Amino acid sequence: MSIVHDIKLPAYDCRLWILFFGMALNQFGMSIVMPFISIYLYYYQGFSGLTNALGFAVGPLVGGILLDHLPSFAMWLIVAAAGVACALGFIYLKKLVPGVKNGSRLAE
């Protein structure tokens, strides 16, 4: 018998284990992607590491508070509107960040 067949998981609902392993896989993927997102945001968009860290810290906190107090349909509308606002904001933000030409610090 293999080692995998000998592992006994606690007797929780199957949906809980699917959620757990899905979240573990998501965090594994984010741990691979985050260094590259930080490099991209610094060199090509002009954001500092502190801005990146604050965004990833404050976003889930505010989202969790809103999700506790608003119905899910309202949250979908808020998230969609925030996504559009962020996309439009990136277009105009390049004009506000000093030292960025053509959207890249490497082009200097």
Report d(CA 69, CA 67) in Å as an integer.
6
Q: Give the start-to-end residue ranges of the domains of the chain.
A: 3-96
Global pTM value? 0.46
**pLDDT at 22 (0 to 100):** 94
| Average per-residue pLDDT for the chain | 79
Minimal CA–CA distance to 103: which of 37, 46, 49, 47?
46
**Using one digit for the tens of pLDDT, what is the confidence trace for 48-99?**
777 777 877 888 888 888 888 888 888 889 889 988 988 888 777 766 666 5
**pLDDT at 106 (0 to 100):** 54
pLDDT top residue among 12 and 95:
12
